Chain A
Amino acid sequence: MSSDREGSVPLRNEADIVASRQTVRGLAQRLKFSLVDQTKLITATSELSRNTVTYGGGGEMDWTIVERDGKSGIRLQFRDRGPGIPDLELALKDGWSSGRGMGLGLSGSKRLVHEFHIESAPGAGTCVSITRWK
Chain B
Amino acid sequence: MNQGQHSLADILRNDGGELTTRWLAAAGFERSQEAYASFAEEARGLLATLKSATAAGATRFDVDGTAWAGTRAALEALSAARAARGESAGTTSAFVLALKVALFEALPTTTDGPSLMRQVATLTQVVDGMAQWTVTTFQRTREDIISRQQEELLELSTPVIKLWDGVLAVPMIGTLDSNRTQVVMEALLQRIVDTEASLAIIDITGVPTVDTLVAQHLLKTVTAIRLMGADCIISGIRPQIAQTIVHLGIDLQGVRTKATLADALALALRQTGYTVSKAPVGARVAG
Chain A residues with CB under 8 Å of chain B are: 3, 5, 36, 69-72, 134
Chain B residues with CB under 8 Å of chain A are: 64, 66, 69, 136, 139-140, 142-144, 182, 186
Cα(A3)–Cα(B67), bound, Å: 11
A71 touches B140 (CB 8 A): yes
A72 touches B69 (CB 8 A): no
Cα(A134)–Cα(B69), bound, Å: 23
B66 touches A72 (CB 8 A): no
Cα(A70)–Cα(B140), bound, Å: 5
B66 touches A3 (CB 8 A): yes
B66 touches A70 (CB 8 A): no
Cα(A69)–Cα(B144), bound, Å: 12
Query: A69-B143, A70-B139, A70-B143 known; 14 other A-B pairs, CB under 8 Å?
Result: A3-B64, A3-B66, A3-B69, A5-B64, A36-B182, A36-B186, A69-B139, A70-B136, A70-B140, A70-B142, A71-B140, A71-B143, A72-B140, A134-B144
Minimum C-beta distance from B186 to chain A (A): 6
Give 10 pairs: A residue, B residue, CB < 8 Å, sorted on A. A3-B64, A5-B64, A69-B139, A69-B143, A70-B136, A70-B139, A70-B142, A70-B143, A72-B140, A134-B144
The CB with the most chain A CB atoms within 10 A, among B140, B142, B182, is that of: B140
The CB with the most chain B CB atoms within 10 A, among A5, A36, A70, is that of: A70
Chain B residue at minimum C-beta to C-beta distance from A3: B69
Cα(A3)–Cα(B143), bound, Å: 21
Chain A residue at minimum C-beta to C-beta distance from B141: A70
Give the chain A neighbours of B186 by CB distance below 8 A: 36
Minimum C-beta distance from A132 to chain B (A): 14
Cα(A70)–Cα(B186), bound, Å: 25
Minimum C-beta distance from A129 to chain B (A): 22
